[in-house]
Amino acid sequence: MKAHVGHYDVVVVLDENDTYSWAHRPGNRWPCSTLSGHSIVVQIDMDGLADLVVDGQRPEEHIIDMWELRALLVDSLRGVLPRNHFCAWLLKRGDT
């Protein structure tokens, strides 16, 4: 997993191994994962989801569970995203 935390956006890049490993964690699996085994590039800006590319294509080519995507981003950005960053709302689990 690679993450770039800019002043106005956050970009997360996950390869096939990252998404597979995340979806098949011991004791914390995501059954019927729509993201497992796929490469993903996500850009989040002040308006929310700015860009999503799955296996090099736009999401209309794939069926994506957006709750799963959010959970994956929360887990990927924990410890990377500063608490005072404008995207810190993403790390709050209260409404997931």
Pairwise CA distance, residues 17 & 41, whole Å: 14
**At a CB cut-off of 8 Å and minimum separation 6, what does 89 contact?**
none
Q: What is the pLDDT of residues 24-71, one digit of tens each?
A: 999 889 989 999 999 999 999 888 889 999 999 887 766 889 899 999
List pLDDT tens digits, range 60-81.
Answer: 766 889 899 999 998 999 889 8
Q: What pTM was estimated for this model as a whole?
A: 0.85
Own/partner contacts of 28-37, CB < 8 Å, gap of 24 or more, are 30/68, 30/71, 33/65, 33/68, 34/62, 34/63, 34/64, 34/65, 34/68, 35/64, 35/65, 35/68, 35/69, 35/72
